[in-house]
Every structure is written in structure tokens, then in C-alpha cells.
Amino acid sequence: MNCMNKNHGCAHICRETPKGGIACECRPGFQLTKNQRDCKLTCNYGNGGCQHTCEDTDQGPKCGCHMKFALHSDGKTCVGERSVQQQAAPQLLPNETCAVNNGGCDSTCHDAVTGVRCSCPVGFTLQPDRKTCKDIDECRLNNGGCDHVCRNTVGSFECSCKKGYKLLTDERTCQDIDECSFDRACDHSCVNSPGSFQCFCHKGYVLYGLAHCGDIDECSINHGGCKFGCMNTLGSYECTCPPGYKLHWNKKDCIELVKCVSSWVSPKASLTCSKTGKKESCSLTCSSKAHYLAESDNSYTVSCGIPILRGKSTPKANSSNSQSCIETLAPPVKHKASFKIKDAKCHLHPKLKGRQEEGGRQQGPGSGQPCSDCFVTFVNLKCDSSKKAKGRRTRNPPNKEVTRITLELEAEIKPGDVTGNCNLNCLRQRMEKQVKSYIKTLKKSINQERFLIRVAGLDYEVAQKLAGATEKQENCGPGRERESGRCVRCVPGSYYHGEQERCLPCPPGTFQEKEGQLACDLCPGSEGHGPSGARNITSCAGQCPTGHYSTDGFKPCQPCPHGTYQPDTGRTLCFPCGGGLSTKWEGASSFHDCEAKVQCSPGHYYNTTVHRCIRCPVGTYQPDFRQNYCISCPGNTTTDFDGATTVSQCKNRECGGELGEYTGYIESPNYPGNYPANVECTWNINPPPKRKILIVVPEIFLPSEDECGDVLVMRKNSSPTSITTYETCQTYERPIAFTARSRRLWINFKSNEANSARGFQIPYVTYDEDYEQLVEDIVRDGRLYASENHQEILKDKKLIKTLFDVLAHPNHYFNYTTRESKEMLPRSFIRLLSSKVSAFLRPYK
């Protein structure tokens, strides 16, 4: 039996006991009868309704009258003996006194010259008989001043709030509860709303259990759309390719790693140098694939081109590839150098007019380039300025600027240069010497401030001598612009224009995925068409639409042939329906267009081998009709049974909670979502010596129709005969607090496969056993539960955390000022506990 059952039998108030039973209580002024269910009126409630005297009997209050008065036929009112037939109130007699039966007054009696004068306490009004006090229903006037709900009580009233709101200390105003401020409200992002809140997950994750985020296994969704292999990662996934192939720009298709072409491909990086007298001048031109990263105000990295893939070996001699393929696959010449520039500072700024006019020009093959026979594919330059540390061995003055330049360079050998006198190894040795000579020239040009980086048609200086940096730089530097007084990086879809010193949208036919870049990358085959400000390659114009494909994913495109489909844009292939199935038309864009022999409902997938619908296995789900796959549950969740249709049926089976020596909590698996079937959890709370346990159950949700198939029990140990503190298999939305009947607790929760519910999150605190009598007095006080507001306190996670902190460490009470306490707790709650808390804390004053 529980209070949720309408047949509990209590006339007034039903209370649930820690052991799962019930206890009936009566409203103030009433008394519980011998059957422990009914309530009878007593003289303590409005004088039993009597005008003069009241006497408690087994049948209830019995009214009487003063001398020279008679009881009216209503059994309550007293009238003068000479006017028994009249219902007017009796006249005040001079000989009436408050000393005799309180002057007949319900409440307060005052002796006056004309007789007694009755008055009523706040919340009551004096009736026309001038004796009786009647309760005022404050809720009838302007809802009692309550924001939400007003409930009349004897002599007063009480305001309460709707779910998702809390009553402020004025006990009238309702304020939205910011659930997002609670610990563990959401795994990722939380958005508060009036009366509620909602959890959201980062990209690549999906919400389950109302508040938790699990990684999406994209590979289970139509193989991630990958042509070959698919590898799931946290928050994302990657398509993989077999040996000899690499990923297409769409990150899903695979293309041949190396193709032998007759025409020479233009380099992605162009590094040229020239010499005028004793001055060396060099420039690095990035035609595409230029990336800029400002690590700090005094450090940045610029990369130009694409590095050759590591670990690729040359084909065997008996390979069918031509000699030019062998040359193309030859490992590149790589060199890394690091040197310093004294009294200089890293900065990448557009070249000042009038500086180095003769340097950085593109030179022809006969202009004395040290590397006239090399093919530069990738250059990475890092500039880092820092103050030189003060030391005994340094010859330079302390705190001088020192710039460190780190340069990485990759170059390929041109095809066709292999001769009978110089094979591939010979060419490599020559190239390595030329690259080393190139590095020396670069070092000289940088030291002489005659090295430029050309990006998007603009020349940038790498580093500047301190003596020449007389002009104050007001701008934010490359890759950033000033916004609302702050320097912010250029957003994806834009680039930094050096001359205008601001960020501009990527022009049509280009895109930029990263922040703070100096140029935009070219769209494949766009020919200058497409939207401006494209943030990624998928925004480029000319991609093949769904249901179509081409050799590079761009127009001109062909429709998917019969029996195939393609749900993505920019693809180089179409997926077969499988099982010999055909499509209704060319250009099919999903498996829906395949003419399956049966139409599968949610929770099923179409098996093209047996041509029938199969239930999704345990741990997967499918919310849509006519699909040929099931989606894996996110993270470490699984389903209770096969044939799941929504992600909400994916549940975490891990038992929740944190068990501390002073405070902690236990939590059903998957909370606040429904707990899984056939799960069992066990927690053990072992307080430090001389401490006892206080439990607060804010609310618990267990299916009542389950015939106690799901049970939570708290007892001394696992033995069924040990002392039991709490046991329930029901749903209780009214909070309850109780102390453990043993020094330690063994807590067990077990569910069956019949039904499920939200479960519970139950906090606990351990307190000094010297205060056991006080704590027992608090939690057993009926006033703690009589008020709706007090119940909400036991459900308020922030307040419970504060109260538990004080119970666990009484001296922490002084961390909360009187003002803070009054702002946190309603006055009625403070009045209820003030004397008890004072006694509790007196040893620490």
C-alpha cells in the first residue's frame, strides 16, 4: 500500500514511511481516531465551531453557552433566553468577563466597560456574532499575491510554483530554476528555458537518456558513405583506402595514389632567389595550399604546398609502370635548417613601399638560381621571437630580441633527367647539394631583410630589425582584424587582405576551412563560379548532385545507372542496390528507390541476400522505413531487446553515483532516462568512524504496475535478514529524508524485463554521531513535509548540497552569511529549523 493508491483510507493526510508503509495524519485542529484512519474535529480548531464553550468528546466537540444564554438549533451558536426564536447575536452583558470561559471568544478576549471584546489572530476574521473567528481564504483575492498556485490553509495560505520554478524567499514570487547551473545537468551543452531546459551534444555525438551524449558510429549508417573502408573515431569518422589509393577531396571516395601523366604539373610552391652584388634576394610564392598559423604575437608558421606522403617506396623493377612513374615515385629531397637573427622580431606584414624593390622578383632559369634543376613541392617556415634569458655566458645584453627561423623544404627530381651517366641516386646527390646551397642563400636573404612570402598576389616580410621598426603597428597583424576593440582571427570562409589589413570573404571559386588564413584555396574545376565566402570544398559550385557522379565529383555529371543510387553530392561512384535489385529510374538518390521485394518498417532492415526484413540486432536501432541498415547505439549504450526504433531505447547499463566519505549520491543506470531491463546495481556506503548516514530521496520512479519487479533496498548488508532502512518498488514524487538504521549501508537496485521508468538520483551525507538525536528530530518533524515549499527544498539540488555541506562539516555554517541563508531558504523553513540549527552549532560558537 502507498499514498499513490486512492484506497489508502486516510481521511486527511497520507504519509509514506521509510519501510514502504503508510501513516495517516490529520490537519491542525483535528485528531486521529482509534481506527488510525479517520479524523475528528477538536476544540483546538476554531473552538470546535462553538460560540461560547467547547468540550471534546468521543463524538467530537460539544458546544455549550454561558449563563442566560441558550444553545441555538445549529448546535453551535448561543442566543439570549428571551429571544431564543431569534437568530441575532446576544447583547453584551456588563457582568461578562474574560475570566469566565475566555468570555466566549474563539481566540483573544479583552475586558471592556461594556463587557468582553473578542478579536481574532491574523488569517481569521471576526463573525457577526462578535465571538467566532472564521478562516480567511486569502487565495480568493488576487490569488493571494502568488505568482502561480495559491493554497488556503487554516489561518493562512501558501504559495507554490509550477514544475521547473522555485519560490523565492518572499514566498510569493516564482523564479525559473536554472537547471543548467546544476552539476551534471548535461554531458555537453545545456540551454535553459522558462520552466525547463534542454541538453545538446557536440557535432558527431547524439543525445540519449535525456542528458547524455554518445559518439555516433557513422560507419554503421550506410557504411559512412565510404567507398572502401570506414573507421569510427570519437566525434567523427574516417574513410580509408586500400594500398595504392588515397582519399578523394570529398573524403569518401578513393582515387589512385599516383598517375603517370605526360605533361608536367605546376608546383604548389615556388621558391626563387637572385643575387645583386653582394645582396641575396629570395621569394616564396604560394599559388595554392597556403596555410598560416599565428601561435602568439611573436610566433607564427607559414606552409606552402603539400608535403609528399611519407613511407611510399618505389615500385619494383619488374613493375609494369613506366620509367617516368618510377621517377615520380622517387622519395623527395628533404632538408631542415634552423638559424637565428639577432635584434629582430617576428612579424608577417605586407612589404613597405620603397623597401626591397629589386628583391623577390620571379627569375628565369638563367638567373643564377641555386636550385634551377629542383622541383619544390613544399616549404614550411616557422618564425619565433623570444627575449634572450639573462645568463653569465652570454655576450649580448640581456632582454634582447632573438628570432629563430626554422625552415623545412621538400623538392622532387624532374622526370626525364635520368641518363646513362647519372641515374636516380646520382640525381639525388646533386639535388641534395643544390638544396643545401639554396638554404645558405635563404639564410643570407632573411638576415638582410630581403626575403618575401608572396600569397594571393601580396608580398609579406618575414622578420624586421628592431631599428627599422619605428612605426607603431596599429593593426592586429596578418590573419586578424579588430572587432569591438578586440583582435579576432578571420573566420572560415574568409582570408586576410594584406593591403586593406582586414578580412574579406573568399571570392567565388575558392574556399577556406581554417581561421586566420592569408589566402583561399581553389575549388576543383570551379572556373571561378560558386558562392563567395565558401567555408569548405563541399560549398564549391559545380558538384554532382545526389543521384549523379563523375570522375572527379564535379560537372559534367552522369545519372546513376539502373540498380544503383547515390545519396551524397560530389561523388565519383554510385552504390549498387545489391541482390540483383533494380531501381525505378536512373539517377536514384537513396535505397528507397531500389525495388525491394518487401517494405521494411522501423526497427528492421532489408537483407538483400535473403530479400526479407530482419529485426535490428540488440545494440542497434532504425527509426525509418525501407532502410538496408541499422544504426549502432551511441557510445557504450545498448538496447534491452532487438527491433529498437529510436535512439532513446539505447541505454547505458553502468551503475551511476559517487561515493564519498562525507557526501555522495547513488544513481540508477541511464538516469535521468529510463533504466535498462535486467540490470542490478550494488553500492556500499561506509562512513568514517563515529559518523552516521542521512539519506534524502527527492523522488523515485519505479513502475507501480510491475508488481515489485523493480526494487530498491537499503540495509546493513546483503543478508535478507539484516536491518532494513528503506525498501520500495513504487513511484514517490514527494521527498522523504531519513537516517540509516545501521552505521553502514548496502544498497541494491534490481530491475526485471517487464517495465522501466526514470529511476532515481539519491544524495546522502554522513554526520557526527553526537548530533544523531538532533538530526532525527529534524527529519521526523512533520512540518518538514507538510509544506509544499519545504518539499521543494528537499528537491533543490543546490540547497541540498548546501545543507549537506553544513551537516557534514558544521563549521562550514559560518561560510554562509545570515543574508545568504535568508536568500536561499524560505522564512518558514528558517523558522522551523532556527532553534534546532542553533543548538546544533552551539559547540562551534
State pLDDT tens for residues 356-369.
Answer: 444 434 333 334 44
Residue at grid coordinates 559518439: 215
Among residues 692, 658, 659, the alpha carbon closest in space to that of 769 is found at: 692
Which pLDDT belongs to residue 610? 95
pLDDT (mean) for 498-526? 86
H-only helix segments in 236-353: 323-328
Q: Is the pLDDT of residue 314 over 50?
A: no
- Contact predicate 124/147, CB 8 Å: no
Q: Is the pLDDT of residue 122 over 80?
A: yes
Which pLDDT belongs to residue 607? 97
Q: Is the pLDDT of residue 709 over 80?
A: yes
- Segments making up each domain of the chain, as ranges: 46-135, 138-176, 217-257, 262-309+324-351+373-387+401-415+424-466, 477-542, 655-844
Which pLDDT belongs to residue 791? 76
pLDDT band at 82 (very low <50, low <70, confident <90, very high): low
Same fold, 46-135 and 217-257: yes
pLDDT band at 635 (very low <50, low <70, confident <90, very high): very high
Query: What radius of gyration, in Å, describes the C-alpha atoms of the chain?
Result: 42
pLDDT, one tens digit per residue, over 166-177 is: 888 888 999 999
Pick the CATH number of 477-542 from 3.40.50.2000, 3.40.50.300, 2.10.50.10, 3.40.50.620: 2.10.50.10
- Contact predicate 503/497, CB 8 Å: yes
Among residues 252, 220, 242, the alpha carbon closest in space to that of 575 is found at: 252
**Phi/psi at 745 (nearest 5 deg)?**
-130, 135
Which pLDDT belongs to residue 560? 98
SS3 789: helix
SS3 523: coil
Pick the CATH number of 217-257 from 3.30.43.10, 3.20.20.70, 3.40.91.50, 2.10.25.10: 2.10.25.10
Cβ contacts of 120 within 8 Å, gap of 6 or more: 106, 107, 108, 126, 133
Which pLDDT belongs to residue 313? 41
pLDDT, one tens digit per residue, over 548-584 is: 999 888 888 999 999 999 999 999 999 999 999 999 8
Q: Which pTM was predicted?
A: 0.67
pLDDT (mean) for 755-769? 94
CATH architecture of 655-844: Sandwich (2.60)
Which pLDDT belongs to residue 387? 61
Pick the CATH number of 138-176 from 3.20.20.140, 3.30.70.870, 2.10.25.10, 2.30.180.10: 2.10.25.10
- Please check whether the domain covering 46-135 is classified as CATH 3.40.50.150: no
pLDDT (mean) for 823-830? 67
pLDDT band at 194 (very low <50, low <70, confident <90, very high): very high
Give dist(CA 458, CA 454) in Å, integer: 5
Which pLDDT belongs to residue 238? 96
Q: Is the pLDDT of residue 676 over 70?
A: yes
Strand 279-286 with 451-455, pairing = parallel
Measured at the alpha carbon of residue 549, what is the angle toward residues 547 and 551, in degrees to the nearest 5? Answer: 175
Q: Is the pLDDT of residue 440 over 90?
A: no
More confident: 674 or 392: 674
pLDDT band at 178 (very low <50, low <70, confident <90, very high): very high
Burial code of 100-135, b = ≥16 C-beta within 10 A, e = fewer? ebbbbbbbebeeeeebbbbebeebbebbebbbbbeb
Give dist(CA 623, CA 435) in Å, integer: 60
pLDDT band at 308 (very low <50, low <70, confident <90, very high): low
pLDDT band at 527 (very low <50, low <70, confident <90, very high): low
Which pLDDT belongs to residue 328? 44
- Go through the chain and tell me how many residues it has: 845
